Amino acid sequence: MPNIWLSPAKINLFLHINSKRKDGYHNLQSIFQLLDYCDELSFDIRQDSVITRTSGNESIPQDQDLIIRAAKALQQATGTKLGADISVVKRIPAGGGLGGGSSNAATTLIALNQLWDANFSKQQLSTIGLKLGADVPIFIAGHSAWAEGVGEILTPMNLPKHYFLVVSINKHISTKEIFSHKALTMTSQIGKMSDFSELINPHNDCLEAAIDLEGEVLNALAHLKSSENYLYQPRMTGTGSCVFVEFKHEKDALVALDNLPKQWSGFVAQALNTSPALT
């Protein structure tokens, strides 16, 4: 029987870009909020060291798939002779700033670390994961968190279990284009974790660049502002293109979902503090 593991989405409750680093990455500050909206990964262990994708992610060549790259990176690091057949049921929209690919890579590392009896520590897995993407360590840590550095310096946070309506404009925005865009803003002042205990004026430094690339992001944010009973201003997550709005009660989020224009897609999810990939 295959082993099935959940791979959660995340949103950025805010995103400040503090500076550009010499290695091409950017230093940032953010709060990563995990959600109970997940992809499903299945693993069949092989004895012949072959790693293959049996279903899911068909639009991505296998050698570019973060799931396959994560499995091969762990295989090389551990020296195991085992392999795996991996399938994925995708629910998290791709290219929307929800961390689906990074989450899949992290879940693959966590799962195969156990299924191959590799016994690597979280730190060892994060070191492998960071080479695959800056967001992979948050999913390996498996806890909603205050993030600094490129997103790998994490301080766990226990956040309210509110409900979020997440909206996709069904268009992909390139992270690389965002970070090289002339409209990317910077928040040079370094904040403290305590400053964000109440999200009075959260913002995302990638928003203006995303709007310039896909103006529909602005339309989606404007629509969400017409929702009733939300807690904070609607925001964009990550480098886009998904936007979200937060509610205390699920029923209010579901009403807002019902009022969503048909050209967009959306889902309601509850905040998680701990990743289901760790349970």
Q: Which residues are catalytic, by number? A: 10, 135
Is the distance from CB of 144 to CB of 32 less than 8 angstroms?
A: yes
Is the distance from CB of 137 to CB of 151 less than 8 angstroms?
A: yes
Q: What share of the chain is helix, strand, coil (3-state, %, to 5)?
A: 30, 30, 40
Residues in the chain: 279
For residue 101, how far is the Cα from the chain centroid?
Answer: 7
DSSP code of 63? G
Nearest to 159 by CA among 240, 242, 244, 248: 248
23: number of Cβ within 10 Å: 7
Is the distance from CB of 31 to CB of 157 less than 8 angstroms?
A: yes
